[in-house]
Amino acid sequence: MKKPTLREMFTIPNILSYFRILLIPLFVYLYFKAETPPEFFRAAVVLGISGFTDLFDGKIARRFNQITELGILLDPVADKLTEGAVVLCLMTRYRWVAALVVLYVLKEGFMAVAGLVMLRRGKKLDGAKWFGKVCTFVFYLVTVTLILWVSIPPTVADILIAVCGAVMAFTLAMYIPVFVKMNREAKADAGEK
């Protein structure tokens, strides 16, 4: 990746990604400080603002032709740092979230390594697949529910965490053949040259 220019560094989508990264410590602080439902609500609002800006940075980048190599890297980094902070915070209150952390690390670790290997071979994933988007939606639905519903019955919390974990495992299983196919294509392309 070539060194980004100042103009590329400060496009509106990149500024939104920086903003999302800056919201992470604020969310963590509010979550750990929270003791009452209104205080947990404040933490959820910060997470909601982060999700809202994530929803629009890609649309703005495409609409106003502000797609940059830095932005392509920065957006998923902001996503993963936010998601990681959320599961680590929730792990302090819900014992089964530890299983989500393990699945999260496996899934994101696989995606990062496979993505880097494919990038070195001249291939890259063309955006998130439908199952990746479903996984993100379920992840935020479950985690925001766990943040907001302070007195959630433990059985309900365990069911929500299990559903989220199942969707994460399904998503990982669906991405594996995608990267296997990309690897085959990269080898075929290398053989043609």
Predicted pLDDT at 184: 87
Predicted pLDDT at 85: 94
Break the chain into its structural domains and give their ranges: 1-92, 94-193
> Strand, helix or coil at 153?
coil
Predicted pLDDT at 192: 55
- Low-confidence stretches of the chain (pLDDT < 70) are 1-2, 127, 192-193
Predicted pLDDT at 172: 92
Which residue intervals of the chain are DSSP H helices? 6-9, 12-33, 37-63, 69-91, 97-120, 130-148, 154-192
**160-to-39, 81, 188 alpha-carbon distances in Å:** 22, 22, 43
Predicted pLDDT at 189: 80
**109-to-3, 15, 72, 112 alpha-carbon distances in Å:** 25, 26, 18, 5
Predicted pLDDT at 127: 67
Summarised one tens digit per residue, pLDDT across range 17-41 is 999 999 999 999 999 999 999 999 9
Predicted pLDDT at 1: 56
pTM: 0.83
Predicted pLDDT at 37: 94
Predicted pLDDT at 67: 78
